Amino acid sequence: MEKSSLDADCALNMVLVEEKKGHLIPNGNAHQGVNGTLNGGPVSAATGAISAVEKRQGYPERETWTRQMDFIMSCVGFAVGLGNVWRFPYLCYKNGGGVFLIPYVLFIFLGGIPIFFLEIALGQFMKAGSINVWNIAPLFKGLGFASMVIVFFCNTYYIMVLAWGFYYLIKSFNSTLPWSTCDNPWNSENCIEIFRHSDCHNGTIGNATFGNMTCEELANGRSPIIEFWENKVLNISDGLDQPGDINWEMVLCLMAVWVMVYFCVWKGVKSTGKIVYVTATFPYVVLIILLVRGVTLPGAYDGIMYYVKPDWSKLGEAQVWIDAGTQIFFSYAIGLGALTALGSYNRFNNDCYKDAFVLAFINSGTSFFSGFVVFSILGFMASEQGVDISKVAESGPGLAFIAYPKAISMMPVAPVWAALFFIMLLLLGLDSQFVGVEGFVTGILDLFPGKYYMRFQREIAVAICCLLCFIIDLSMVTQGGMYVFQLFDYYSASGMTLLWQAFWECVVVAWVYGADRFMDDIARMIGYRPFPWIKWCWSFITPCVCMAIFLFHLLNYKPLTYNNVYVYPWWGEVIGWCMALSSMLCIPVSLVYKLAGSKGTFRERWESLTKPVWGAHHLEYMAPDTDIKSLTSLSPGTEENKVIIFESVM
C-alpha cells in the first residue's frame, strides 16, 4: 500500500481478504464522493483510504451534474413528452372536461409524486443505475432487470414517432403542404379536399369540382391528410402477416434521428445536461406561439370550452378514475429506471424531495396547458368543417399526424405553422428518447466492475444500444410496420407493465428494506424528514392504487385492433404478451432463482439476500454513530471481489 493507506492503518485494521459478512466494499463503479466529511478521525481515515484504493485500482469517478438545474431540465425533458400533448387533452375532454382534474390531481398525490420521488431518491442514495440501485435489497434485483427490459422496448419503438415527425417536418418546407391537396401520386380517386356538411342541400352538393354528388356518396370520401398518412408515410399493408417493402425515405429519417440521439448521449451527463436546455425549453416557446395563434382563430372559444366544461356525472364512472391513474404513471415516466439513473448523478445531499414537487408541477401543468393549445386549433377545424368537435378530437398519433396537420393546412401561411409544430414535436420526443437511452446505458455500465473499465466504453455502449434498436426498428418502416409499432406500444411498455413495476418498487422499499429506514436515509441526504404521508403512500396507498388499476386493466383486457377494424391474429397477440411478460416475470423469476441458489433455512436465506450492499460513498456520509459493521458486501464467494474491510478502533 501507498503511504496514505499506511496512515489509515493507525485508525483502522485494513486487510485484503475474501468476502466476509458484515463489511463494506467499494462499489463496482467506484462512485465518487462529494464534498462532505464525518466527525471522528477513524471514519475520516477510512474515507481517505478507500479513495486511495480506488485511484490505485483505476476506478473511474462517477459523473455528477455540473449544475443542479441540469438535473431539473433533464427530468423535465424526459418526463414531459408527447403524451402530455397528445394524450392528456383527449382524456380530459373525454372524461368530463374540468371534472377530470379532480381524480387526476388526487392520483398525483397518491401515486405520482410518491413513486417519482422514490425513484429519484433511490438513485441519489445508491448512486447507481436502474439495476445496481436494487442493491438496497439484492433479492429483488429483478426489478432493475425488469425496468431495463421496459426502457429498451420503449427506446426501440418510441423513436418511430420522431422519425415520422422528422419526415413531416421535411415535407413542411413546401409552399403547399403535400397533405392538403388531392393531386399527389399517392392520392386515390376518393380523395376530397374540402367538404362541409353545411354545403349539403337536399342531399346534393352543388360544386363543380365534385359534380352533382349526394352526401351519402361524399361520406365515402377520404381526406388528403389521411391518404398522406396511410398511403405515403406508412404505405400500410392489409395486416401484420404482410410486411411488404421497406420505405427507404423513412429509413433515412430513422437513421437521422438515431444519429441525433447518439450524439446527445455519447459523452454522458456533462453534455446531456447542456442539450436539454434547448430540447426541454424550446417546445414551451412553440406551445405559447401556437396558443396565441390558436385563440385568434374562429371557433377557438368553442374548442376550449369543450375541453374544460365540467360534466359532473362523469365522476361516477370507474373508467374516468382509471384513465386518471394510468395517465399519471404514463406521463411521470415511472418504472422505466431512467429517473433513477438521472438521480444517481446528483450530489448526495441534493434536496430531491423539493425537486420531486417542482417536477410534478411542471409535468402536470404542461399537460393542462397543452390542452388549450390543442383544442383551440381543433375548435377552429370543427368550425371550418361545420361538424361537432367530437368528430375531430383524437388522441395519440391520430392527433399529431392527422387532426393537427389537417387543422394547420387550413390556416394562412400553413407551412410556417406546420414547421413550428413538428419542430416542437421532434424536440418533445427527442429529449425523452435520449434520456431513456442514457438510463439504459447507465444501467448496463454499472454492471461492469471498475477493473473492466476501458477508454471510450460509454461511446461504444451507446453505439451498440443505438445500432441494436435501429435494426429492430427496420421492422417498423415496412408496409406492415404500423402493426409492429402498435404491438410494442400496446404490450411492451403498457399500463400493466408499468403498474406492476411501480407496485413492486413500493413493496420492496417500504416492506423489505423498511419505509422508516429509507426515510432516515433521505433525512441523512437532504437534512430533514419528508412529510409522513410519503411513507404512508409507499406502505399502503400507492401499492393498493397500482394493484387496483392493474387488475382493472387485466379484467377489462381487449384484443388489439388497428383503427377498430383490423383485428390482430392470435400469434400477434402471443408475441405481444411475450413482450409484456419478458419484463413482468423478471421479478418473480429472479427472486426464486436467488432463493433456490442460497443455502440455509428460508429465514436465513431471506435475511442474507435482503441485506443492502453499500457503496464507498455511503461510508463518507454515514453518521458517526452508525454501526459500520451493518454494512454488507457484494457477490459472496467470488474470486474477483477481494474487499477492503474497515473496522473502527473506536
The binding site for Na(+) consists of: 77, 79-80, 84, 331, 363, 428, 431-432
Regarding beta strands 566-567 and 561-562, do their DSSP bridges make them parallel or antiparallel, or are they unpaired?
A: antiparallel
CA distances from 148 to 68, 141, 421 (A): 25, 11, 32
The percent helix, strand, coil of the chain (3-state, each to 5) is: 65, 5, 30
> CB 69: neighbour CB atoms within 10 A?
12
- Residue pair 390/378 in contact (Cβ under 8 Å)? The answer is no
Alpha helices, DSSP H, located in 58-112: 68-79, 82-86, 88-94, 101-107
- The whole-angstrom separation of Cα 308 and Cα 323 is 17
Residue pointed to by grid coordinates 501507498: 2
- Residue pair 168/617 in contact (Cβ under 8 Å)? The answer is no
> CB 55: neighbour CB atoms within 10 A?
13
- The whole-angstrom separation of Cα 580 and Cα 490 is 9
In sequence order, the 6+-apart residues with CB closer than 8 A to the CB of 640 are 449, 451
Angle between the 318-331 and 352-385 helix axes, to the nearest 10 degrees? 120
- Residue pair 324/108 in contact (Cβ under 8 Å)? The answer is no
What radius of gyration do the chain's Cα atoms show? 27
Q: What are the φ/ψ torsions at residue 282 (nearest 5 degrees)?
A: -60, -40
Q: Which residues pair with 643 in a beta bridge?
A: 17
Within 130-237, strands assigned E span 204-207, 211-214
User: Residue 138: enclosing H or E segment and its boundaries?
Assistant: none
CA distances from 207 to 10, 217, 225, 384 (A): 98, 14, 21, 17
Nearest to 327 by CA among 359, 293, 273, 367: 367
Q: Which residues are annotated as a binding site?
A: 77, 79-80, 84, 331, 363, 428, 431-432
Q: Which residues pair with 211 in a beta bridge?
A: 207
- Residue pair 64/347 in contact (Cβ under 8 Å)? The answer is yes
